[in-house]
Amino acid sequence: MIPQLDMKRHGGRGLLITFCGLDGCGKSTMIRMLRADLEETGAEVLVTKQPTDGMRHSPIFRNYMDADDHSGYEYRALSLMAAADRVQHSNQVILPALRRGAIVISDRYFYSCLANLRARGYAQDKWIYEIAKDIPQPDLAFFLDLPVQTAVARVRARPEERERYIDMTLQYRLWEEYRNICKANNGILLCSERGPAQTYAEVRSYFGGDGA
């Protein structure tokens, strides 16, 4: 059983909304639709992502994303770097926005860091739970769920990712970890196989008539 992450309450006037799941699960579409709806109400909306671009462009990150040979790197090093990136981003970008009353929508969040660590065989590592104590707890944490093969097919349909290396065994492990992490942390599991309109209708049901 996965322990619950002991995140800190952000104490801001705003809302923190996160979307996690496999590549291809529909996060970008849900975020785009939600942002448009919320901005129509006059709310300040900050859309951001984790890990940040600085982390995504690092050699160690690109190696694990783009190649099947990871022998030159230690995965724990990547995971620690990603966790540090999230601590910095969460406290220096997300928290100030929440304190001024903005609605923050994050494409991936600390849950993804945990899912990847566990899926790659480091389920016994405890340090990530200590780091989580310095991460703001989302007000709404959505986990988009769909079959692995469907998610991979969506990724492959993107011209720029047609030839991207995808570790299928890892994808199945991640799928399982996301479901377990969602359950352990009171997340909201949504089936995104039904199509954007139906999935978004369920996302929108968690907001009041004024969008907040």
Q: What digits encode the pLDDT tens for the residues 35-46?
A: 999 999 999 999
Q: What's the pTM?
A: 0.92
Q: How far apart are CA 138 and CA 97, in angstroms?
A: 13
Provide the Cα torsion 19, 131, 15, 193; round to 10°.
Answer: 10
Q: How far is it, in rounded angstroms, from Cα 144 to Cα 21?
A: 5
Tokens of 28: 């970008």
Question: Can you name the CATH fold of 15-204?
Answer: Rossmann fold (3.40.50)
- 127-154 pLDDT, tens digit per residue, is 999 999 999 999 999 999 999 999 999 9
- Counting residues of the chain whose pLDDT is more than 90, the rounded percentage is 80
Whole-number Cα distances in Å, 137 to 35, 98, 130, 195: 20, 11, 14, 28
The string of pLDDT tens digits covering residues 67-87 is: 778 777 888 988 999 999 999
Find the Cα–Cα–Cα–Cα dihedral 179, 32, 153, 138, rounded to 10°: -20
Three-state secondary structure call for residue 22: coil
| H or E element that contains 109 | none
Average pLDDT for the chain: 93
Q: pLDDT tens-digit profile of 89-124?
A: 999 999 999 999 999 999 999 999 999 999 999 999
